[in-house]
Structure 1
Amino acid sequence: MFINSAIYPTFTYGDHPETWLPNSRRPERLEEAIAPHREQLWLQCAAAASYAGPWFLGRTFSALDLYIAVMCNWRPGRRWFLQHCPQLTAIAGRVEQLPLLNALFQAHFDHVAPLE
């Protein structure tokens, strides 16, 4: 619930700040204010990841892993995740290499390697 109730909403406001600040000369300031908060939320999420297995919940694959795989490509960006949340980036990489999902991730994200 943390990703969809705390992190995901930051994109609702940040993607179209002019909706929320219609009379502002600089609506992009809303995204500038949200970005550090979003990063802190991701750090909290990463701290909750299990080290007991390849997935967020350890040995249990779940929808959390799918969410993480997609959202590691959104703001703050793949490079930020690599530097600050390497365990989430590793989970994303494993999801991207699942045979049933690899072609889908390749179609949407340039960095995803095809299965060998």
Structure 2
Amino acid sequence: MITVYGAPGWGSAISELMLTLAEIPYQFDNVDGFDKPGPQQERLRSINPLCQVPTLQLDDGSVMTETAAIALMILDKRPDLAPPVGTPEREQFWRLLVWLVANVYPTFTYADYPERFAPDAPEQLRERCVAYRKTLYLWLDKQLQAAPWAFGEQLTLLDIYICVLRTWGPRQGWFAQNAPKMSAIADAVCGLPSLRNVLRSNDII
């Protein structure tokens, strides 16, 4: 069985929800506190030297990281969780999946740990990252159909990303007012009975 090393409310929530949606069995290993020196960090580092969550240990003992790569792995087993091959929606799915990881994720890295990158001006870096992230979300909201999902009637793994991202800064109130399509998608994902337990364990509902 796949083991997901993660921490409640962190990026591992995306992998947990994607695996649950795809009905792929896994077990969760809580390494909360991994981002600070201590036994949890050392335990995770022994599996993934970069000490990231999510880190997945697969059935054969190999390690998988990076949520986009995990999404691709899941789509090999559940291709129905992306738009059909040959459609314009499929192309945009790939675009937005990579766009989120390449553009939005770094704003959390820099804002959450600014002292690593700008020790003389950590607060300024944090504020600018948060402001820039908001502009990214405003752009993304314009790309979505949200009726009720990002690509219309079909639920895809991109909707899982959007649901979890809404729980991180700038939080739900900002999304409701400024990015209503993302907010509607997140509400729709939160309403899926099959995901309820994972959503609760990650404080998403």
- Place the TM-score, normalised by the shorter chain, in its bin: 0.7 to 0.9
Equivalent position SS for 2:192 = coil
SS at match of 1:101: helix
Q: Pairwise mapping of residues 32-47 of structure 1 onto structure 2 (< 5 A)?
A: 32-47=127-142
Please tell me whether the aligned partners of residues 149 and 155 of structure 2 are also in contact (alpha carbons under 8 angstroms): yes
1:96 CA drift (Å): 1.1
2:162 to 56, 59, 68: 68
Aligned letter for 2:109? T
TM-score (norm 2): 0.50
Larger RCO (CA under 8 A, 6+ residues apart):
2
Quote how far apart the aligned CAs of 1:46 are. 0.3
Q: 2:113 aligns with which of 3, 11, 16?
A: 16
**Consecutive unaligned residues in structure 1, runs of 5 or more:** none
Residues 21-60 of structure 1 show CA distances to partners (whole Å, capped at 9, x for unaligned) of 13x1x41221101111110100000000015x31001112
Percent identity, aligned pairs only, is 35
Q: Is the 8 A contact 2:145 2:181 kept in 1?
A: no
Q: Which of these two proteins has the greater Rg computed from alpha carbons? A: 2
Deviation at 1:107, TM superposition (A): 2.1
How many equivalent residue pairs?
A: 108
1:109 partner letter: D
Structure 2 segments unaligned to the other structure (5+ residues)? 1-97
Return the alpha-carbon distance in structure 1 between the equivalents of residues 167 and 199 of structure 2.
10
1:31 is matched with which residue? 126
TM-score (norm 1): 0.86
Aligned-residue RMSD, C-alpha: 1.3
